[in-house]
Amino acid sequence: MELNIVRYILIFPLLGFLVNGLVGKRLGNKAVGWIANSAVFISFALVVYIFIQLLSMAPGSRLITDTVYTWINSGSLTIDFKLMIDPLTIVMLLVVTGVGFLIHIYSIGYMHGDRSYSRFFAYLNLFMFSMLLLVLSSNIVLMFVGWEGVGLCSYLLIGFWYEKDSAANAGKKAFITNRVGDYGFLLGLFLLASAFASKGILTLDFTTMAAHISLISPQILTIVGILLFVGATGKSAQLPLYVWLPDAMEGPTPVSALIHAATMVTAGVYMIARMNFLYVLAPEALEVVAIVGGLTALYAATIGLVQNDIKRVLAYSTISQLGYMFVGVGVGAFSAGIFHLMTHAFFKALLFLGAGSVIHALSGEQDMRKMGGLKNKIPVTHAVFLAAALAISGIPGLSGFFSKDSILAAAYASGHTVIWLLGFITALLTAFYIFRLIYMTFYGESRLDKHAAEHVHESPKVMTVPLIILAVLSVIGGYIGVPQLLGNLVGWHNSDIFVNFLAPVFRTMPKHEMPVSTESWLMIGSIAMAILGVFFAWYVYIKSKMRPAEHAAESLPGVYRLLLNKYYVDEVYNAIIIKPLLWMSENFLWKIFDVRVVDGTVNGSAQVTQWASTKLRKIQTGDFQVYVMLFLIGVISVLAYFVLR
């Protein structure tokens, strides 16, 4: 179905960006906030309207398109600026605009008093535009435009407080690391385009590609799949390109919530789900996705155990949860991956915004060792934080439980026992580190310094109301995807609404059935892990009041230092990539190429001219009669030439 209002989802955030970016300073902060928020709200309202339209259509034919104009028309290649909405898109759209809108409201309170208020909202709206373009595009080239757009906005917003050196560097790090991944993405795109072109298909539309994908040989599909996944590891912070995300916490907290937890970093998962028709035919590439996802999940969770900065714990947690999503799509359970993407957007945005509220209350303190005992001082923040923490730990009944469990079940059912085990252990670590954060921040005795303690205050309503809405979503969001196993217990047929809704979008992998008893044991196992993790954190940080950091440092000094220093990955990258590059830049590009070749050419041409003129000026003797003679000789030779020719 063609529906021309789809484009307005994009236009309003773009307008908001233009207005706030160009004249925002003159409008005043109140107007800026209103413009930015209403732009996103209109998009959200349109998405909800289209969602209702989509629900009224038959399940198999849920597709809305909007062709804006022909974008590229080069020879026989035609690429339209065309938007497309199918069940997968609408899930992403609802998450992006819904969570995005709540974060916009929160930002009004959080950024209150910042001197670059209008610049912040302009960037935020530009980000919304790029992210929506990424999600809405109906071909992979247009998707790449959005893909780069969100990368740019991420860079701008991480380095938002650019006068701080660390923020500016973090922005650069994010941008350059992403560039490495995007290089892989581009190569994959070119390879895919040329593979299709050699079969006479000169378009990169998702639907056309899906229809003709079987024409292309599996080897090429595997390479394309892996190259596109390289792009995803950059954008979604997976091994080995995850290093930028922890540093990205230098940005304002709403940015961490919106871009580096809920939306942009999930773009890689979305891309793989969108390209599912390709990955289904390239099982080796999917295997790579699953392995990298599983390793990243465990790896990042171990680092998260020992971090002391409240936002960094959440950053590593995000990397770890993104790993889960890649496990989900990697084992062919695309809807499970997208389901976790959605629930994660709720509870991780909530965790970040809650952390922002804590930081706000403590006048900018981020170190958990200087927090503690905040439970009664900021009760609303504490309550919503607890809800999100329970959700991410996988406590039964909350959203994180359903989505995480469906991923683990799919991993086990498809025979990826090792990857399942990685995820299973990660579940324990997740519960532990998130409750470590809770106990260090909200419980125990207060370790605040005097100045901060005097000013502790609950955040204003404009910040707490979005938190409460997100908390509600984190709690109930899982009930649209209840596993059939649990649905049967209460006599609810087709309880897995989410999977059924997305089913038409995804190519089916060979179905793996497993006995009910196995599935039940898996579920009980992961519940046990979650509760064990919470209990363990409680025992260590509350009951025994032992100083785990010092304890661990004494008993396992090597491991503790390894984790605290994040496995020295930054140092290793520094040594094997950055140092050689810098050395090369300094000793070859600068001292040889720039100084000798570039400067040499410029100075050399000047020197040649100077040398030539010192020699040639001798001709000018000042003797008038010499000039006359030379002139005569010249005239005579010209004449002689013409006469004697």
Partner 1 sequence: MSYQLLVILSFVLFVIGMIGVAMRRNIIIVLISLELMLNAVNILFVSASKYMHTLDGQMFVIMVITIAAAETAIALALVVKVFKTVGMVKIDDLKKLKW
Instruction: Output the six-digit token pair for 299.
Output: 């790896």
406 vs 87, 202, 328, 347, 619, CA distance in Å?
A: 19, 38, 8, 17, 92
Q: Decide: is 489 part of the binding site for partner 1 (CB under 8 A).
A: no
Establish whether the linkage from the previous residue to 483 is cis, with ω within 30° of 0: no
At its nearest, how many Å lie between partner 1 and the CB of residue 607? 19
At its nearest, how many Å lie between partner 1 and the CB of residue 606? 20
Bridge partner residues of 84 (DSSP): 65
Site for partner 1 in 100-139 (CB under 8 A): none
Contact present, 368 and 441 (Cβ < 8 Å): yes
Q: Decide: is 450 part of the binding site for partner 1 (CB under 8 A).
A: no
Q: Decide: is 622 part of the binding site for partner 1 (CB under 8 A).
A: yes
Q: Which is nearer to partner 1, 56 or 613 (CB)?
A: 613
3-state secondary structure of 69: strand
Q: Which is nearer to partner 1, 493 or 618 (CB)?
A: 618
At its nearest, how many Å lie between partner 1 and the CB of residue 626? 9
Burial class (CB in 10 A: 0-12, 13-18, 19+), 539: exposed
Bridge partner residues of 65 (DSSP): 2, 84
DSSP 71: E
Site string for partner 1, 262-301 (x = CB under 8 A): ----------------------------------------
At its nearest, how many Å lie between partner 1 and the CB of residue 639? 13
Rounded to 5 degrees, φ, ψ at 137 are -60, 145
Q: Which is nearer to partner 1, 26 or 617 (CB)?
A: 617
Q: Which is nearer to partner 1, 418 or 629 (CB)?
A: 629
Site string for partner 1, 324-363 (x = CB under 8 A): ----------------------------------------
Instruction: Report the residue from 418, 582, 629, 639 that binds partner 1 according to the rule CB under 8 A.
Output: 629
Instruction: Output the six-digit token pair for 536.
Output: 């363990």
Q: Which is nearer to partner 1, 584 or 635 (CB)?
A: 635
Report the chain's C-alpha Rg in angstroms. 30
Stretch of 214-222, 348-356, 557-565, 617-625 lying at the interface with partner 1 (CB under 8 A)? 617-625
Q: Decide: is 640 part of the binding site for partner 1 (CB under 8 A).
A: no
In this structure, is the dihedral angle defined by the CA atoms of residues 18, 21, 27 and 33, taken in order, positive or negative? positive
Distance of alpha carbon 125 from alpha carbon 121, whole angstroms: 6
Instruction: Report the residue from 56, 74, 610, 620 that binds partner 1 according to the rule CB under 8 A.
Output: 620
Instruction: Report the residue from 445, 623, 641, 642 that binds partner 1 according to the rule CB under 8 A.
Output: 623
DSSP 589: I
Instruction: Report the residue from 1, 176, 576, 632 that binds partner 1 according to the rule CB under 8 A.
Output: 632
How many CA atoms, within 13 angstroms, populate the side-chain half-sphere of residue 356? 28
DSSP H helical ranges for 514-578? 516-538, 548-555, 557-564, 569-573
At its nearest, how many Å lie between partner 1 and the CB of residue 645? 21
Q: Which is nearer to partner 1, 521 or 627 (CB)?
A: 627
At its nearest, how many Å lie between partner 1 and the CB of residue 621? 6
User: With contacts defined by CB under 8 A, how many residues of the chain interact with partner 1?
Assistant: 10
At its nearest, how many Å lie between partner 1 and the CB of residue 630? 10
With a CB cutoff of 8 Å and minimum separation 6, the contacts of 27 are: 19, 20, 35, 118
Q: Decide: is 609 part of the binding site for partner 1 (CB under 8 A).
A: no
At its nearest, how many Å lie between partner 1 and the CB of residue 578? 55
Q: Decide: is 621 part of the binding site for partner 1 (CB under 8 A).
A: yes
Contact present, 296 and 319 (Cβ < 8 Å): yes
Q: Which is nearer to partner 1, 77 or 626 (CB)?
A: 626
Stretch of 99-107, 239-247, 556-564, 613-621 lying at the interface with partner 1 (CB under 8 A)? 613-621
At its nearest, how many Å lie between partner 1 and the CB of residue 635? 10
Residue type, 435: F
Q: What is the 3-class SS of 264-302, one letter each residue?
A: HHHHHHHHHHHCHHHHHCCHHHHHHHHHHHHHHHHHHHH
Distance of alpha carbon 83 from alpha carbon 631, whole angstroms: 76
Q: Comparing C-alpha atoms, which of 107, 65, 97, 61 is closest to residue 82?
A: 65
Q: Which is nearer to partner 1, 606 or 632 (CB)?
A: 632
DSSP 8: H
Q: Which is nearer to partner 1, 624 or 642 (CB)?
A: 624
Instruction: Output the six-digit token pair for 380.
Output: 């609303």
Bridge partner residues of 74 (DSSP): 77
Q: Decide: is 617 part of the binding site for partner 1 (CB under 8 A).
A: yes
Residue type, 519: E
Stretch of 227-235, 262-270, 538-546, 627-635 lying at the interface with partner 1 (CB under 8 A)? 627-635
Q: Decide: is 628 part of the binding site for partner 1 (CB under 8 A).
A: yes
Q: Decide: is 625 part of the binding site for partner 1 (CB under 8 A).
A: yes
Stretch of 16-24, 28-36, 426-434, 615-623 lying at the interface with partner 1 (CB under 8 A)? 615-623
| Residue entry with tokens 């720039």 | 594
Site string for partner 1, 569-608 (x = CB under 8 A): ----------------------------------------
3-state secondary structure of 331: coil
Summarize as ranges the residues that interact with partner 1 (CB under 8 A): 617, 620-625, 628-629, 632
